[in-house]
Amino acid sequence: MTIKIGEKLPEATFMTMTADGPAPLQASDVFAGKTVALFSLPGAFTPTCSAQHLPGYKEQAQALHDKGVDTIVCTSVNDVFVLHAWEKDQGTMDDIQMLADGNGSFAKALGLDFDGSAFGMGTRGQRFSILVKDGVATHINVEEPGEFRVSAAEYLLEQL
């Protein structure tokens, strides 16, 4: 079942890179008491994700903060090492918190996973954005397969 507006985000354990190496981080610690612009993409270093999706959130970070967003979070079904390398490659370390959903458990719990086996990618998270206020989804934008519009930073910014 896919998450709906007004529902609490599911609990999950992400992996994040710290100064001491990879560390687990609970979803409740990320979303509780904050306004979070959450976006998910199929994979680090993939064409649309690297050329448009992640850069759009970097470019709009200040505008999102000015509209009341406390934290911008990117999640993907990638391991923490890949996301950290991509974060450094894209120069987003100061703007976007990267959370690895390595096993796809968060995407699956949201009902927003998909089978990318036909493309050699296995199970992945769909391309989406969710505005989260104190752990509850207030806006949910899920892309149609092959599309990139409603999960973009500019689209989410218009919803604030």
User: Which of the residues 3, 17, 49, 142 is marked catalytic?
Assistant: 49
Instruction: Give the domain range for residue 50.
Output: 13-158
What is the model's pTM?
A: 0.94
- In terms of Cβ atoms closer than 10 Å to its own Cβ (0-12, 13-18, 19+), residue 53 is buried
What separation in angstroms does the CA of 14 have from each of 39, 59, 105, 160?
14, 25, 9, 26
The pLDDT, as a whole number, for residue 39 is: 97
Domain count, the chain: 1
Residues of the chain with pLDDT under 50: none
Residue 136, domain member (yes or no): yes
Residue 3, domain member (yes or no): no
Q: Is residue 49 among the annotated active site residues?
A: yes
The pLDDT, as a whole number, for residue 7 is: 98
